[in-house]
Chain A
Amino acid sequence: MSKIVSALNGAKFDGFASIREIGPVGMITLRAKPDVVGLAEAVTAVTGTPLPALRRIEIAGDKAAGWMSPDEYLIVVPYAEVAGALAVLAEKLAGQHHLAVDVSDARAVFRIEGDKAVEVLQKLAPVDHATLEPGELRRTRIAQVAGAFWADDKGYTLVCFRSVAAYVMGLLTHSAQSGSELF
């Protein structure tokens, strides 16, 4: 597996919040309408989670299922398990109109951790964090690029496109500089 390298090969920065590029993380774009027969069972079969509701992400250990749009879900599994997950989806959704495609390598994934981790995001995304529900997956703009993030008890997971990973790392580094805390 040594030939598999994530976008920034695990780059890190420690400021008032700690930033880590993690990955590679297995990700599948699953496009299907929620009323597709067997969809919930198929998602549960690969992630162990229920089908996420509007703007939610359901997390079970190292797997998750997120709501991306009315006909799109993000499936998160360990990188090595993507092919297996795709096979399960294909089998469970056979005959149903859907699209499941591996996007693990098209993404970069970051962790933002620390008591003030939220302030890093407040500098970059036009999102009112006070209105976010627990377990909400928010797709938004991260400075000049598209991104998505969700919170857990230790911090935030941020996903962006792989080609702009260095840009996003630069943004996070700039925004997490010690002495630039917002509150």
Chain B
Amino acid sequence: MLILECPYCGVKAEETELTPGYEAHLKRFGPGSSDEDFENYMFARKNPKGVHFERWRHAYGCGKWFLAARCTATLEVFGTYPAQTSEPPAEIVAKIKAKRPDWKGYK
């Protein structure tokens, strides 16, 4: 059972205080978008064995959504950060690259 530190309230929350929100950094495609873009937005989800970016909500705590970068194989957490961003912060990317030299980036 994971522990993730909520970047808003600083609580090191265990998984039972959180609700999962699956893949992070999805770009919404609304009316006028192509079938392919909409399909990718709606259905095409990454399922990597390795570095992954996820949405979590501190549901039983401060109620805020945050994002987490972790390794799905070892459960190592590289960092958590606020949801108000469309891409991972540079320091987290740097940390992942240092620990996982083969990592190809979040896209």
Contacts across chains A and B counted by CB atoms under 8 Å: 34
Task: Provide the main secondary structure of the chain B interface.
Answer: loop
Residue from the set A54, A138, A141 with the largest chain B CB neighbour count within 10 Å: A141
* Minimum C-beta distance from B17 to chain A (A): 5
Of residues 1 to 49 in B, which have CB atoms within 8 Å of A's CB atoms?
Answer: 8-11, 14, 16-17
Bound CA span A140–B61, Å: 5
- Cβ of A170 within 8 Å of any chain B Cβ, yes or no, is no
Bound CA span A69–B57, Å: 12
- Cβ of A116 within 8 Å of any chain B Cβ, yes or no, is no
- Check B64–A126 contact: CB distance below 8 A: no
B61: nearest chain-A partner, CB-CB? A139
- Check B16–A70 contact: CB distance below 8 A: no
Q: Mark A154-169, 1 if CB is under 8 A from B, else 0.
A: 0000000000000000
- Check B60–A68 contact: CB distance below 8 A: no
- How many residues of chain A have a CB within 8 Å of chain B? 12
B9 contacts which of A55, A126, A141, A146 (Cβ < 8 Å)? A55
Q: Mark B60-98, 1 if CB is under 8 A from A, else 0.
A: 111110000000000000000000000000000000000
- Check A55–B16 contact: CB distance below 8 A: no
Bound CA span A55–B61, Å: 10
Known A-B contacts A126-B16, A126-B17; the reply to A141 vs B10 at CB < 8 A is no
- Check A54–B14 contact: CB distance below 8 A: no
Residues of the A chain whose Cβ atoms lie less than 8 Å from the Cβ of B11: 55, 138
Chain A residues within 8 Å of B, Cβ to Cβ: 54-55, 68-70, 72, 126, 138-141, 146
Listed A/B pairs (12) with beta-carbon separation below 8 Å: A54-B9, A54-B10, A69-B8, A69-B62, A69-B64, A72-B62, A139-B9, A139-B60, A139-B61, A141-B60, A146-B59, A146-B60
